[in-house]
Structure 1
Amino acid sequence: MAFAISLKAGNDTADPIGALWQEVAQFESRPSMVALGYPPHLTLAVYDDIPLVRASDVLREAFAGRPALRLTFTRLRFFDDPLVLWAEPSPSADLTSAHARVHACIDPQLCHPHYRPGAWVPHCTLGTQILLKYQAEAVALAERPIAAFEVVFDVVDYVSFAPVVVIAEQPLD
């Protein structure tokens, strides 16, 4: 089991991500993101373990009174090995600041290396179970232009996974 601190969009602005989840699901063995039962999100940090009290403190210290993050997505991308499709947010000082605040509260060395400062790639995952026979089509989808859309991330939370279980959350104003 792992633990994560994520920004999530529990509102209608996340509908374009949901539509992309459905589109990417056609390339998967099963619809990976819908199966999570968790809204569209951007993960800020992943840990093997962080005590609940500390995580709750971080959510409060780093995010209480902070506004919701409005992020614009302008293209799809992919990670290799395994193939993962994702939506890329445009550069955002607010998003960079949110990531930095988490790591200012919890030693970055405790975080999974891909989510540490200097290594983190902000992304909203669209699919993780791409079948080998559909990989070329999935990559072609990720390389096509898309119409820009905005998503409002209105909650930050601390979850365990998999399955995803929300342990603590902090609404954003």
Structure 2
Amino acid sequence: MKQVCNIFLIGPMGAGKTTIGRLLGKCLKMEFVDSDREIEQRTGVDIPMIFEYEGEAGFRRREADTIADLVRRVPIILATGGGSVLLQENRAALAANGFVVYLKCSVDRQVERTFKDSHRPLLQTENPRQRLEQLMATREPLYRSVADCTVDTGRYSSRQAVREILKAYNQAKRKTEKQDEDAQRRAG
């Protein structure tokens, strides 16, 4: 049976995963962890340096190890990196261990929100907009495939997005509890 007590936030860079994750953590009195910050703490270096020395493949290996550890924490609100869904093992770990929320965000909004952020190695290019469009074309079907709920953060403020997530999360939690009760009745 799928575990629903954890909430995992997926979506592109600039979608608001960290901001919304912190708000959810406060509302639910749950630990909030950002997987990128966790990787930096574990390695002692920032993500651009990991990309520089190990490339994207090295970073993705570290990310997969970190996500595998973090999804076992209960309860937790986890904000993942935008590319975390690229690996099947991450998608499976997220889907099996919590309620997955896809924070959808238009490329225009991503450009606005990441314009001055030098901490994003994949945007260190002459045309960040084009890069964001390429990333979205590859990743969006993966976000959708694993999401239990989608919230458009270009349409809602952070607080409104939290309310939408909580509504869907509570519905999913009630449904899971009812299924558990029904299974116990049948077994018992």
- The interval holding the TM-score normalised by the smaller chain is under 0.3
- Give the TM-score taking structure 2 as reference length: 0.21
Q: Which has more strand, going by share of residues? A: 1
Q: Which has more helix, going by share of residues? A: 2
- Give the TM-score taking structure 1 as reference length: 0.23
Structure possessing the higher radius of gyration over alpha carbons: 2
